[in-house]
Amino acid sequence: MDFFRILHDILITDTPSDKIARFKAFYDAYLLDDVIFENEYEPIYFDSPSYAGFCQIVEPLAVPKRRNMAQRKGQIILLHAITHIEYSAIDLALDHAYRFTDMPRDYYDDWLKVADDEIRHFLMLEGLLNELDSSYGEVEVHDSLFEASQRTQSLLERMAVVPRFLEASGLDATPEILLKLERMPKTPFIEKIKAALEVIVDEEVDHVLKGDRWFSYACEQEGVETSVYFEIIEKYYPRSFPRKKMINVKARQEAGFSCDELNIIASAKVC
């Protein structure tokens, strides 16, 4: 079983159930060391995300807004948005492993484990959507995460942009969603949503930490200081810092951010 060719096939698989089944078979083989690394393999650039065939892709500002989460429609919009993030995150983690072909074995261990986690998150959220008689693909989505992965073709930029910027932003956003849900009338279903989000935000800390680890590795390989992070983010997402909203200082510290970085991100002394 060739590592990179199989990953390519999984990445372009265009239905969630097939993608997950193929990954599980591949991951079982990987854990048994039953794969071959072809280090001369040339990864390809993908023109469209794997969900393009069953999701309607719109501009980010055209995605339905999350309003009135006490009602079924609002809950569907919220859950669908997060389900889409988690499904996108499966492909992101797989592309991290696929895109860079001459890395230490620990690198592939890390991102395949993340992909396995993201699949579990996706299935958990998809189950909640199904309880509302909805399904993934029913609500319009944007492809910003896919675009970020395809625009960042070096390890240094990929690790800075995807785990340490985009996914780290989720560490800030999810507690805000949980706070809004906490203020709503308690129902069994709202409690299910909260429980799922708490699992996700806890486990995403480790995912961002893995990104921090390999960002530091890439900095060392390229002979640059880790402060290049801010130059990279400014290149792709101008004027992103300071953050306009509160940042999750504790979670970001656990995920590898230094106090110096957090003070710059928040434009205030937060630690």
Instruction: Scan for tokens 């509302």, then name that residue.
Output: 132
Per-residue pLDDT at 199: 96
pLDDT, tens only, 204-232: 999 999 999 999 999 999 999 999 999 99
In a domain, 243, yes or no: yes
In a domain, 84, yes or no: yes
Range of the domain at 98: 3-266
Work out the number of other CB atoms within 10 angstroms of the CB of residue 214: 23
Q: Which residues contact 70 (CB under 8 A, 6 or more apart)?
A: 184, 185, 190
Q: Which residues pair with 2 in a beta bridge?
A: 36
Per-residue pLDDT at 118: 98
Name the phi and psi angles at 148, rounded to 5.
Answer: -60, -40
pLDDT, tens only, 24-79: 999 999 999 999 998 789 999 999 999 999 999 999 999 999 888 889 999 999 99
pLDDT, tens only, 12-37: 999 999 999 999 999 999 999 999 99
Query: By the 8 A CB rule, do 108 and 97 touch?
Result: yes
In a domain, 271, yes or no: no
Query: By the 8 A CB rule, do 164 and 151 touch?
Result: no
In a domain, 225, yes or no: yes
| CA 38 to chain CA mean position, Å | 26
pLDDT, tens only, 99-117: 999 999 999 999 999 999 9
In a domain, 53, yes or no: yes
Angstrom distance (rounded) from CA 48 to CA 146: 8
In a domain, 221, yes or no: yes
In a domain, 227, yes or no: yes
CATH number at residue 241: 1.20.1260
Q: How many domains does the chain have?
A: 1
Directed axis angle between helix 3-12 and helix 16-31, to 10°?
Answer: 160
